[in-house]
Amino acid sequence: MHDLLIRGATVHDGTGRPGRQADVAIAGDRIAAIGPDAARERAARTIDGGGLVLAPGFIDLHSHADFTLPSYPGALNSLAQGVTSEVIGNCGYTPAPVSPDPAKAAAHRTNTHGLGPDLDWSWHTYAEYLDRLDAARPAVNALPLVGFGAVRTAIVGPDDRPATPGERIAMAAEVETALAAGAWGLSTGLVYPPGSFATRDEIIETARPLARHGALYATHMRSEAGGSGSVAAGVLRWQTNYVGTLTVLPRPSGGVCAAFRVNNVSLHMTSPSTATLMYSVVVCDGSREGTATVTRSP
């Protein structure tokens, strides 16, 4: 006997196929059957889905709920829109890590003020923050990124200056620690302080642990207006040279509306100075796959 039977809804299964009218049976927290088999067993509860759309939970790829879920774990704002999974920690701003130095900690709280309700800030490390998030039992799945801005403020502070070689090593170590704790990747907000203070080489050094973990790099580029194509190409060039995970591409009408995922992080070298990589691009009007040749710095 099924727990729930939803009859006659238009099912969009997430594969990209056209929606189709079907019955869906649920047993416990699992989908037991879709289609004719769904109605062959009795169900404790039946919902008429006629005229309605039934789909898997949506994924919000750009969320700042890491600042709200500790206080509002019910996430009604997301669930009411069908969102059941959120990639949190975008734009380089995350609640952790937080420096034990009072001045740097205060700068971090100032940088992130307004992204959510007042937090208790009872953590310093990224692992401690994730423990606090887990204890809140959020109603959505959370895929956390660690923010470059938080890492930089914890090590360098709020200063508008390049990081020293020692500080770069310390920032990379913070990213390594966050990834080991459960972060899915690193985000940067290069149009905002303190990310806007960082040099390209500094970001590269800080992001090096991503390749070892097969983790993501999500960027808010320095520019999304005129010249976004060259900016995206620049991000892609150093990203594939040194990290090889994720960046963005511009859309012809302006702005950004695409996610670029490098599929083979190791790259296939065709000569000492170039590399061919497989890629997939999800854009506004569909997706495509292919190869691209990028310059590989020595």
Residue 22: name the closest of 35, 5, 12, 40 by CA. 35
pLDDT at position 90: 92
What's this model's pTM, rounded to 2 decimal places? 0.73
- Residue 54 confidence (pLDDT) above 80: yes
pLDDT at position 150: 96
Residues 138-150: what's their mean pLDDT? 94
Q: Share the mean pLDDT of the chain.
A: 78
CA 293 to chain centre: 26
Please name the residue that has the structure tokens 């960027």: 219
What class does CATH assign to 2-54?
Answer: mainly beta
Pick the CATH number of 58-295 from 3.20.20.140, 3.20.20.70, 3.40.50.1820, 3.40.718.10: 3.20.20.140
Half-sphere exposure at residue 10, Cβ-oriented, CA atoms within 13 angstroms: 6
Sheet holding 141-147, edge to edge: 58-63, 83-88, 141-147, 185-189, 216-220
Q: Which residues, including other chains, have CB under 8 Å from residue 255's CB and lie 6 or more apart? A: 224, 225, 228
> Which stretch, 172-176, 188-192, 212-216, 250-254, has highest mean pLDDT?
172-176
Q: What is the CA radius of gyration of the chain?
A: 22
pLDDT digits over 237-267, tens only? 444 443 333 333 334 444 433 333 433 333 3
- Residue 288 confidence (pLDDT) above 70: no
Instruction: Determine the Cα–Cα distance for residues 53 and 58; give it in Å rounded to an integer.
Output: 13
pLDDT at position 294: 39
Q: How confident is the model at residue 223 (pLDDT cuts 50, 70, 90)?
A: low
Instruction: Determine the Cα–Cα distance for residues 136 and 145; give it in Å rounded to an integer.
Output: 18
Instruction: Between 117 and 149, name the one with better pLDDT.
Output: 149
State the chain's maximal CA–CA distance in angstroms: 68
| Token digits of residue 205 | 């050094």
pLDDT at position 161: 94
Residues 29-34: what's their mean pLDDT? 88
Residue 18 DSSP label: P
Instruction: Between 278 and 140, name the one with better pLDDT.
Output: 140
pLDDT at position 222: 67
Q: Could you state, in order of their start, the residue ranges of all structural domains in the chain?
A: 2-54, 58-295
Strand, coil or helix: what is 132? helix
